[in-house]
Chains A and B, each alone.
Chain A
Amino acid sequence: MKLNTRINGRDLCLEIKPNATLLETLRQAGFKSVKFGCGEGMCGACAVLVDGKPRTSCITLAGTVEGSEILTVEGMGNPDQPHALQQAFVDAGATQCGYCNPGSLIAAKALLDSNPNPTAEDVKDALDGNLCRCSGYVKRIEAVLSAADSTASTTGQKKSTRGKK
Chain B
Amino acid sequence: MLKKLTRFYHPKTIEEACQFLGNGEGRTAVIAGGTSAALRADSSLEALVDISHISELNYINKDAAFYRIGACTRVQDIYKSPDLKGPAGKLLQAAAGKIGSTLLRNAITAGGNLAGLFPWSDLPVAYMALDAEVVCRRGRPKRTVPVMSLIETRAPQFLAANEIIAEIIVPAYGPGTGTAFAKLAKTANDYALISLAVRLTLKDGAVNQARIAVNAITAQPVRCLDAEKLLEGKVLTEELTAEAANKAADSLNIRKDIRAGEEYRREVFVVMVRRALNEAFENANRKGGQQ
Interface residues of A (CB under 8 A from B): 1, 18-19, 40-42, 44, 47, 50, 53-56, 59-61, 63-64, 66-67, 103, 107, 125-130
Contact = CB atoms under 8 A, between A and B. Distances in A.
Interface of B: 1-3, 5-8, 10, 31, 34-35, 37, 40, 48, 50, 52-53, 74, 76, 100-104, 106-107, 188-189
B50 A63 contact: yes
Contacts of A64: 8, 31, 34, 48, 50, 52
B227 to A, nearest CB: 33
Nearest to A59: B35
Contacts of A59: 34-35, 37, 40, 107
Contact of B34 (A40, A42, A61): A61
Contacts, number: 80
A41 B106 contact: no
Given A18-B7, A54-B103, A67-B10, 14 more contacts: A18-B6, A41-B100, A54-B102, A55-B106, A55-B107, A56-B104, A56-B107, A60-B34, A61-B48, A63-B8, A66-B50, A67-B53, A107-B103, A125-B102
Contacts of A1: 6-8
Contacts of A61: 2, 8, 31, 34, 40, 48
A129 B31 contact: no
B103 A130 contact: yes
The 9 A-B pairs with the shortest beta carbon distances in the complex, nearest first, are: A129-B101, A129-B103, A19-B2, A63-B8, A53-B106, A18-B5, A128-B101, A19-B5, A56-B103
A70 to B, nearest CB: 13
A59 to B, nearest CB: 6
A120 to B, nearest CB: 16
Contact of B189 (A66, A103, A107, A129): A129
16 contacts: A1-B8, A18-B7, A54-B102, A54-B106, A55-B107, A60-B34, A60-B107, A61-B34, A63-B50, A64-B31, A66-B8, A66-B50, A125-B102, A129-B103, A129-B104, A130-B101
A152 to B, nearest CB: 22
A53 B76 CA distance: 10
Nearest to B3: A19
B59 to A, nearest CB: 16
A63 B189 CA distance: 27
A44 B74 CA distance: 18
A115 B27 CA distance: 43
A1 B50 CA distance: 15
Contacts of B34: 59-61, 64
A42 B7 CA distance: 27
Contacts of A127: 102
A106 B110 CA distance: 24
A136 to B, nearest CB: 15
